């Protein structure tokens, strides 16, 4: 690999094309020279923006072929301010270093600004908390979101601070732990009791035909179908009966894929929607009315999906250390579990 010229101007890296690189694509070759510091898509964006020069002239085509002896200059513009504004929002930080930050996301906090939620999000909070330690994701000084939790889902979430960690963590999450050390476990309180102590739900997800903001189980052959697999295990049954059913259950879910609302849709699909789920468990909301007086108010008053990202494990992109984090139940989730645990078994 060619080393950058040590006399290059600040913010500019200079590389010399050797004989072995003749005929290679400019973007492919530069990606090899910069290693894991820049993704190929980021390099392509820099080329199109005029930040790459060959023999002193700007080249705007990533597919441009190299010739032996050429001198390639790679400009690294300073990260531009992110569009969302920094806001002082308290965060429960589980871990932080120069590459990433791990938080225990509270219920009600939206991860990323969007329609109806341009302020008060996790991104706004991180822009304030991390400040200058954000070295730029895709050239913009902003946190790198590699996975998300719904607004009303609590628990462990990791965010990248730079392109290097964003790229590595994104690859790990895309792999879903099949070949690496990534491990994610969610705890959910669902209605009823799954007949088996553990199982796998393999059902494609797509947009609901009745509401485009919702997801639904669809046939694999549909155009928008996305393969989705959820593994679940029953932790505890509440109000267990002799026929293996129950009033409700605490289950652990692990994802083999990461689709929008996957756990909520899959559990509803097998007849066990999450307690409090106003979107996918609406037909079960009146079940709380049949509960004993000391349990009914807690369950009836639980107005969000009972889902908590309990565990997150991953390999640190720079140190290669395996990091493991667990988030305790938030107060409302813990109260729900405690109340349901008072239900007598038959």
What are the residue ranges spanned by the domains of the chain? 12-75, 80-175, 184-340
> Of 312, 310, 342, 305, which Cα lies nearest the Cα of 327?
310
Of 150, 152, 163, 277, the active-site residue reads 150
Of all residues in the chain, the percent with pLDDT exceeding 90 is 58
Close Cβ partners of 312 (under 8 Å, ≥ 6 residues apart):
102, 155, 156, 157, 158, 183, 184, 324, 325
- What is the C-alpha separation between 173 and 121, in angstroms, rounded? 22
- What is the C-alpha separation between 161 and 100, in angstroms, rounded? 5
Helix axes 26-34 and 40-48, enclosed angle (nearest 10)? 120
Query: How does pLDDT run across 216-270, given as a tens digit for each residue?
Result: 999 998 888 999 999 999 999 999 998 889 999 999 999 999 899 999 999 999 9
Q: Do the Cβ atoms of 175 and 147 come closer than 8 Å?
A: no
Query: How does pLDDT run across 283-340, given as a tens digit for each residue?
Result: 998 999 999 999 999 999 999 999 999 999 999 999 999 999 999 999 999 999 999 9
Give mean pLDDT, residues 162-186.
88
Greater confidence (122 vs 138) lies with 122
Superfamily name with CATH number, domain 12-75:
RNA-binding S4 domain (3.10.290.10)
Fold of 80-175: Pseudouridine synthase (3.30.2350)
Task: State the pLDDT at residue 7.
Answer: 39
* 3-class DSSP assignment, residue 345: coil
Q: pLDDT band for position 346 (50/70/90)?
A: confident
Query: How does pLDDT run across 19-61, given as a tens digit for each residue?
Result: 888 899 998 898 888 776 677 888 888 888 888 999 988 999 9
Q: pLDDT band for position 8 (50/70/90)?
A: very low
Q: Is 104 a catalytic residue?
A: no
Give mean pLDDT, residues 56-84.
82
Task: State the pLDDT at residue 319.
Answer: 96
Helix then strand count (H, E) for the chain reads 7, 18
pTM above threshold 0.85: no
Q: Which CATH class is domain 184-340?
A: alpha beta
Does the fold of domain 80-175 match that of domain 12-75? no
Tell how far CA 139 is from the center of its chain.
Answer: 20
């Amino acid at each position: 690999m060619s080393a950058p010229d040590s006399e290059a101007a600040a913010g500019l890296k200079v590389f010399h094309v050797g004989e072995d690189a003749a005929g290679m694509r400019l973007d492919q070759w530069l990606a090899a020279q910069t290693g894991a510091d820049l993704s190929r898509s980021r390099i392509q964006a820099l080329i199109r923006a005029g930040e790459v020069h060959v023999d002193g002239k700007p080249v705007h085509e990533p597919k441009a072929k190299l010739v032996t002896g050429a001198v390639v200059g790679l400009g690294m513009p300073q990260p531009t301010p992110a569009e969302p504004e920094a806001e002082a929002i308290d965060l429960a930080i589980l871990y932080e270093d120069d590459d990433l930050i791990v938080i225990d996301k509270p219920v009600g906090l939206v991860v990323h600004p969007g329609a109806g939620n341009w302020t008060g999000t996790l991104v706004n909070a991180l822009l304030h908390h991390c400040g200058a330690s954000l070295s730029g994701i895709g050239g913009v000084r902003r946190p790198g979101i590699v996975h998300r939790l719904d607004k009303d889902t609590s628990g462990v979430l990791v965010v990248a601070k730079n392109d290097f960690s964003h790229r590595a963590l994104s690859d790990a999450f895309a792999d879903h732990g099949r070949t690496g050390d990534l491990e994610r476990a969610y705890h959910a309180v669902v209605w009823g009791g799954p007949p088996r102590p553990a199982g796998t739900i393999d059902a494609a997800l797509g947009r609901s035909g009745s509401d485009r903001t919702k997801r639904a189980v669809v046939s694999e052959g549909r155009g928008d179908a996305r393969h989705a697999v959820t593994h679940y295990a029953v932790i505890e049954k509440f109000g267990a009966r002799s026929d293996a059913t129950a009033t409700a259950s605490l289950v652990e879910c692990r994802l083999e894929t990461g689709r929008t609302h996957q756990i909520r849709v899959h559990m509803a699909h097998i007849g066990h929607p999450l307690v409090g789920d106003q979107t996918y468990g609406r037909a079960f909301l009146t079940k709380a009315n049949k509960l004993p007086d000391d349990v009914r108010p807690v369950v009836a008053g639980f107005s969000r999906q009972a889902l908590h990202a309990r565990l997150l494990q991953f390999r640190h992109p720079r140190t290669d250390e395996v990091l493991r984090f667990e988030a305790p139940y938030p107060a409302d989730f813990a109260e729900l579990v405690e109340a349901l645990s008072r239900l007598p078994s038959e």
